[in-house]
Amino acid sequence: MTTLTGARIGVVTFPGSLDDRDAARAIRVAGGQAVALWHGDEDLQGVDAVVLPGGFSYGDYLRCGAIARFAPAMQTIIDKARGGMPVFGICNGFQILVESHLLPGALIRNDHQHFICRDQKLRIENTTSVWTRGFEFGDEIVVPLKNGEGGYIADEHTLDALEGEGRIMARYLDVNPNGSYRDIAGLVNERGNVAGMMPHPEHAVEPLTGPSLDGLTFFTSILSALASGVRA
């Protein structure tokens, strides 16, 4: 068990990661200790949880996240995630988790074919995962969204299962910015330790640089879960 401020959360830098420093900042602002992890190292330096940051790993010239999934660090992360270690993939990180089969479905090019950057309203629909336990069900939040390939798709059976099991973490409100099926912005795995989301909560943690402070709750959620010994 770790104290709130002592929890160590790793942020993996892949070649082409862009929001790695931002994820680290968000962890610090929330009171945690950010640990820089390198894609080429299998060793996770004993971190308590991992954030896979946004960006364009390996340029995303292939399917987004398809190459990053094979990075040495990912092999350890995949193993440990299956054992319950908390992992949160943001944007490109979400794409990597999907490519790693830690989360179901796929992320495809936005239906309007353009990259889009906007302050996006979301509704939180899962408050049991270690990444969202600080929210109230139905909380409406605003965090930045910025992606070119954020359209979430899955087969009907999977979508029904996600809804039935309460695994849709966040849905787009007002505007569906990329054609995601059932307005899905983020989801969690069965166990609730692995979460992925296209919008960027790490860019909504400071009043000066974000549209809100709503993103902070994802990071305080995991820190309080780690501090109180909550296991997914």
Partner 1 sequence: MSIDNIANAVATPDHPQPYRDLGVKDDEYQRIRDILGRRPTSSELAMYSVMWSEHCSYKSSKVHLAQFGDKKPQTDAMLVGIGENAGVVDIGNDWAVTFKIESHNHPSYVEPYQGAATGVGGIVRDIMSMGARPVAVMDPLRFGPLDAPDTRRVLPGVIAGVGGYGNCLGLPNIGGEVVFDPTYLGNPLVNALCVGTMKHADIHLAKASGIGNRVILYGARTGGDGIGGVSVLASETFDADGPAKRPSVQVGDPFMEKLLIECTLEVLHAGLVEGIQDLGGAGISCATSELASNGTGGMQVWLDRVPLRDATLSPEEILMSESQERMCAIVPPEHVEEFMAICRKWDVIATDIGVVTDTGRLVIEWHGETIVDVPPRTVAHDGPVYQRPYHRPAWQDALQADAPTAERLPRPQTASELHELVLRMTAAPNLASKSWVTDQYDRYVQGNTVMAQPEDSGMVRVDEESGLGVAVATDCNARVAKLDPYHGARFALAEAYRNVAVSGAKPLAVTNCLNFGSPEDPEVMWQFAEAVRGLADGCLELGTPVTGGNVSFYNQTGDVAILPTPVVGVLGVIDDVDRRTPMAWAEDGDLIYVLGDTADDFAGSEWAHEVHGHLGGLPRPVDLAKERVLGEILLAGSRDGMFNAAHDVSDGGIMQSLVEMALRSNVGARIWVPRDMDPFVFMYSESATRAIVVVPRDEESRFTAMCGARGFTAERVGVVDSQLDTDAIAASTEDSSNGSEPAQLLQLDNVHGETIRWSVDELRAAHLRTLPAVLNA
User: 200 catalytic, yes or no?
Assistant: yes
Q: Which helix (H) or strand (E) holds 76?
A: helix 72-82
Report d(CA 27, CA 10) in Å as an integer.
9
Give the C-alpha separation, 100 to 144, whole Å: 25
In angstroms, how far is CA 73 from the centroid of its own chain? Answer: 17
Report the distance separating Cα 137 and Cα 106, nearest Å. 25
**Phi/psi of residue 112, nearest 5 degrees:** -90, 0
Residue 144 C-beta: closest distance to partner 1, Å: 5
Q: Is 117 a catalytic residue?
A: no
State whether residue 3 is helix, strand or coil: coil
Cβ-based nearer residue to partner 1, 180 or 193: 180
68: which DSSP letter? G
Q: Of 9, 10, 11, 25, which one interacts with partner 1 (CB under 8 A)?
A: 25
Question: Is position 39 an interface residue for partner 1 (rule: CB under 8 A)?
Answer: no
* Residue tagged active-site, from 39, 64, 91, 203: 91
User: Does 118 participate in binding partner 1 (rule CB under 8 A)?
Assistant: yes
Does the footprint of partner 1 cover residue 215 (CB under 8 A)? no
Judged by beta carbon, residue 92 or residue 217, the one nearer partner 1 is 92
Task: Return the sign of the alpha-carbon dihedral for residues 67, 73, 74, 76.
Answer: positive
The single residue among 114, 163, 174, 190 that binds partner 1, judged by CB under 8 A, is 114
Q: How many C-beta neighbours within 10 Å does residue 207 have? A: 9
User: Closest CB to partner 1 among 19 and 99?
Assistant: 19
Is 201 among the residues that bind partner 1 (CB under 8 A)? no
For position 140 contacting partner 1 by CB under 8 A, the verdict is no
Residue of 121, 133, 167, 200 interacting with partner 1 (CB under 8 A): 200
Helix (H, G, I), strand (E, B) or coil at 225: helix
If the CB atoms of residues 186 and 192 are measured against partner 1, the closer one turns out to be 186
Q: Which part of the chain contacts partner 1 (CB under 8 A), choosing from 59-67, 129-137, 149-157, 162-170?
A: 59-67
Angle in degrees, CA 125, 127, 131, rounded to 5: 110
Chosen residue from 2, 6, 15, 76 binding partner 1 by CB under 8 A: 15
Nearby residues of 154 by Cβ (< 8 Å), 6 or more positions away: 104, 105, 106, 162, 181
Q: What angle do CA 201, 54, 108 make, to 5 degrees?
A: 100
List 144, 151, 186, 196, residue binding partner 1 (CB under 8 A): 144
Q: Which residues are tagged catalytic?
A: 91, 200, 202
Residues that bind partner 1 (CB under 8 A): 15-16, 18-19, 21-22, 25, 54-56, 58-61, 114-118, 144, 146, 148, 200, 202-203, 206, 208-210
